[in-house]
Amino acid sequence: MRIVLLSLLLLGGCSAIPSRYDSNESMLAVNARYAASQIACGEDTATQSIEDTKRAVDIFAMYSESKKSRDVSELVAKMKETTDGLWEKRPGSKTFCELKKRVLVKQSADIANAVMRRFK
């Protein structure tokens, strides 16, 4: 009986282990970070730069989900919510865009830092 309980505890604890380093995931994190930094609020290119960011985040989210990187997927899901909100209101006011951009730049930097600092 003790062996069964110990096994359940050990298996349940494995879900909390961060996923391993993945160079593809790192590049997708950098791509999302770069796209977020390039959002051109208040300019004619705002819609295109928002679309580029949304695409980069969507691809990153799909890759992490497909790879089953739960830790990264949770972080990217929050960034995807921010990007989707910006996309729905495009082009929106310059102030709204700048606030969302600031959040996206912070989220993307934090995610890139987390992804690139994982163990190999």
Cis peptide before 91 (omega within 30 of 0): yes
State residue 117's pLDDT score: 81
Q: Is 13 or 61 the better-scoring residue by pLDDT? A: 61
Token digits for 31?
A: 């791509």
User: Residues 13-40, buried b or exposed e (16+ Cβ, 10 A)?
Assistant: eeeeeebeebeebeebbbbbbebbeebb
Confidence of residue 5 (pLDDT cuts 50, 70, 90): very low
With 60 as the cut, is the pLDDT of residue 111 above it?
yes
Query: Tokens 């298996």 correspond to what residue?
Result: 11
Asked if 17 and 71 count as a contact pair (C-beta separation under 8 A), the reply is no
Residue 15 CB partners (closer than 8 Å, separation 6+): 70
Across all residues in the chain, what is the average pLDDT? 84
Q: What is the pLDDT of residues 10-50, one digit of tens each?
A: 444 444 445 567 788 999 999 999 999 999 998 888 889 99
pTM (2 decimals)?
0.78
State residue 43's pLDDT score: 83
